[in-house]
Structure 1
Amino acid sequence: MKLRAARGVGLSPKIAVGAAGGILVLGLVVALATGHRGADLADSMTQALATQTTGMGFTVQEIHVAGATPAGEEAIRAVLAPAKGQAILGLDLALVRAGVENVGWVEKAKVVRLLPNTLMVEVKERGALAVWQKNGRLMVIDGAGRTIPEADPAAFPQLPLVVGQGAEAVAGDILKSVASRPRLKSRVEALVRVDERRWDIHLKDGSIILLPAVDEESALIELDLLDRRDAILEAGLERIDLREPGAPAFRRRQTAQVAAPVEGGV
């Protein structure tokens, strides 16, 4: 990127940058020669350089963000907003990076300055896995169960709903198992964590599938077999109890009313 012409001085941008580099090198030499006091002096010289070059256009005017979704970029730009107009040579890039990585969407960030006036920020985002409901509050979580505070759950109606204490920490495995079964996935309303031990799967028609505390995959395989043989997911049952391996139990629906998923299970 070409540097802008220096304003108000008789130096070209090339000379200005060369002078900046010379001062920084001198500061480094002094720091190496005099130890901690030299490091303090080098910091002071760097700040003085930043102040001097501000008048030449060496201020943050452009911020480019790469690797972020629109929702993530909005939150990142809000954190970076105070950098606008600051002396670009005076920015503490480690501090800027730390601020970006404090955004819930961001897993990792890299920050680079492009003289004279551009800040480049590249991020790796955390993917949104599900909406988690706890104590009536809705939060978006990533694959590791961490909340993404800046994410509005209402903006992610396509994400599955997991409910209950501890549900966020173990949602990844059960959601993967459900996603591999299209007939089941298309019917799921929510997955409710019961006593932080096992899952109830609430279907859109009001049916509830009770899974065991261990080896839930085997229970889902059993459900697959029952569904292929008897179309059990379409039978309108109130409850399909798979907690006892090899001995499924069923309860027919007594009412057409569909209950909302509740924390703690049925």
Structure 2
Amino acid sequence: MWHDIRWMNITANALFGMVLLALMASGVWWVIQRPMFTLAAIRVEAMHTEPLRHVDALTIRNAAIPKIRGNFFTANLDAVRAAFESVPWVRRASVQREWPNKLTVRLEEHAVLGTWGEDGRLISVRGDVFTANLAEAEEDAELISLSGPDGSEKEVLAQYQLFQQWFSRIHLAPEAVRYSNRYAWSVRLNNGMQVELGRVQDGTTLESRVNQLMTVYPQLIASLQDSIQSVDMRYPNGLALKSSHGAIGLKKQTKASGKT
């Protein structure tokens, strides 16, 4: 009998605890559903010192706000962050709750560098590819053109930066860099000249070919002026040049045996 009373007390205590927890949960749920915790405002500001240039209230109202669910307590901050990062020009967002019914969202915009590929996408100075209004991008900077296989964005950006350094020695700059599906590189410079550099054989291939071009470039300019259209540096012992006057082949010592 004593054992029965003991187990009855344990069972009663357990049931009482469960009822108490249920009442507490119901109370908490009732409190957090009060109208005072309905989101009344979402404050948006720049993540860094630079002001936001492209993200405005209308864009946010159309692209982000409809995706936000819940109130001050129940809103999923990861979902809110994802909603804002889906807005054109937004690179990164961070979200914080502000008692009792507000959210603070800080945004970092993409800094555009140029276009990527042939489908109208843009690429940032960090190598992030994104979709936004091209006309707005053209207001920010003089866009260059970069292209390459999917997943090669960071590699193409890094090579573009090297081309900038190398060609600056002859006061030229790349306007377009293309990395083909066959892993061959080509550059269009700001004087309109197209330079074919081919595939990389080792860590010095591209720089060596650029240096070879820069060695003869003053002579080419002296004789051909601004008529050079393209230069093919894929020959191991020379180069092929196309100008408005016709095609020219130049060799260093022996006849080129083929392209690489």
Counterparts in 2 of 1:163 and 1:85: CA distance versus 1, 3 Å? closer
Contact 1:93-1:112 at 8 Å conserved across structures: yes
Q: Considering only CA atoms, is the larger Rg found in Structure 1 or Structure 2?
A: 2
Relative distance call for 1:206 and 1:73 in structure 2 (3 A) is same
RCO (CA 8 Å, sep 6+): is it higher in 1 or 2? Answer: 1
Contact 2:113/2:124 (CA < 8 Å) preserved in 1?
yes
Is 2:158 aligned against 1:173?
yes
Aligned residue for 1:226, secondary structure, equals helix
Q: Structure 2 matches for 1:15-30, cutoff 5 A?
A: none
Structure 1 counterpart of 2:176: 190
- Give the structure with the larger strand fraction: 2
Q: 8 Å contact 1:163–1:192 — kept in the other structure? A: yes
AA of the residue aligned to 2:243: R
Matched, 1:59 2:39: yes
Provide the identity percentage.
23
Could you report, residue by residue, the CA deviation over 1:126-160 in whole angstroms, capped at 9, with x for unpaired residues?
A: 443320232xx2210235654312x1223223121
Corresponding pairs, count:
211
Contact 1:61 1:118 in 2 (8 A): yes
Report SS of the residue matched to 1:243: coil
Residue matched to 1:201: 187
Does residue 222 (structure 1) correspond to residue 212 (structure 2)? The answer is yes
Distance 1:208 1:63 in 2: 49
Aligned-residue Cα RMSD (Å) equals 3.7
What amino acid does structure 2 have at the position aligned with 1:49? V
Does 2:136 correspond to 1:155?
A: yes
Contact 2:64 2:86 in 1 (8 A): no
- Give the 5 Å matches for 1:30-41: none
What TM-score comes out, normalization by structure 1 length?
A: 0.62
Q: In structure 2, do the counterparts of structure 1 residues 45 and 162 end up closer, same or farther at CA, with 3 Å as the change threshold?
A: farther
Q: What residue ranges of structure 1 are gaps of 5+ in the alignment?
A: 1-32, 256-266
Q: Is contact 1:46-1:90 (8 Å) kept?
A: no
d(CA) in 2 for partners of 1:86 and 1:70?
Answer: 29
Matched with 2:94 is: 110
User: SS of the counterpart of 1:170?
Assistant: helix
1:246, CA displacement in angstroms? 5.2
Check whether the contact 2:147–2:156 (CA below 8 A) recurs between aligned residues: no
Give the structure 2 partner of residue 242 of structure 1: 233
Cα deviations by residue, 1:12-34 (Å, 9 ceiling, x for unpaired): xxxxxxxxxxxxxxxxxxxxx97
